[in-house]
Amino acid sequence: MVTSTGSRIAESNPLARPATDEYAPYYARYIQAVPDGEILMLLRDQLAETEALLREFRGDRGDHRYAPDKWSVKEVVGHVADTERIFAYRALRFARGDRTSLPGYEQDDFVRGGNFAARALPEIAGELRSVRMASITLFAGLSEEALVRRGPANNVEFSVRALAWIIAGHERHHAKILRERYL
């Protein structure tokens, strides 16, 4: 199907894995990290997996850093939540037809300003849960046409559906680091 703006809508599944022209090459590593499947179900399942992983960090383990210059577990989780918020916001703007070029963000500044050390890991994990549920609700409520709309952020053109896959892949990336370097 072709929309009134001339863009092509995925015939079978508007939430299918995005084509490589729907995101910058940098994000391919995140999208490729996500297994095949229905992205909304993957996002739900991933939340349960991440929550189980985070329960392994008991007591003061949330403050653990695997090297002095690396983020703590709490900072990693806060970063994942912040990044998901930013990418979901971009998806919302583009889905609604807003083509305003959105700025990038500096992840280290966000972590420094996040006050994560003063919070308990379960609280930050609860925030991540809330953010993820909001993202799932956002993507589930979008029309086929909205899911394939595109917009610019940080000088990169993204489709809305690519942002859903990037969110999932970004979380998988950091969960893998938590498992391999923090446990």
Question: Average pLDDT, stretch 138-146?
Answer: 97
* % of the chain with per-residue pLDDT over 90: 92
* % of the chain with per-residue pLDDT over 70: 93
171 has a pLDDT exceeding 80: yes
User: What integer best gives the mean pLDDT of the chain?
Assistant: 93
Question: Average pLDDT, stretch 91-106?
Answer: 97
Bridge partner list, 8: 2
Determine the pLDDT at residue 56.
96
Regarding the domain delimited by 60-182, which CATH topology (the fold level of the hierarchy) does it fall under?
Four Helix Bundle (Hemerythrin (Met), subunit A) (1.20.120)
Determine the pLDDT at residue 61.
96
Question: Contact at 8 Å (CB) between 31 and 162?
Answer: yes
Give the pLDDT band (50/70/90) at residue 7. Answer: very low
Give the pLDDT band (50/70/90) at residue 12. Answer: low
Determine the pLDDT at residue 13.
77
Question: Contact at 8 Å (CB) between 173 and 180?
Answer: no
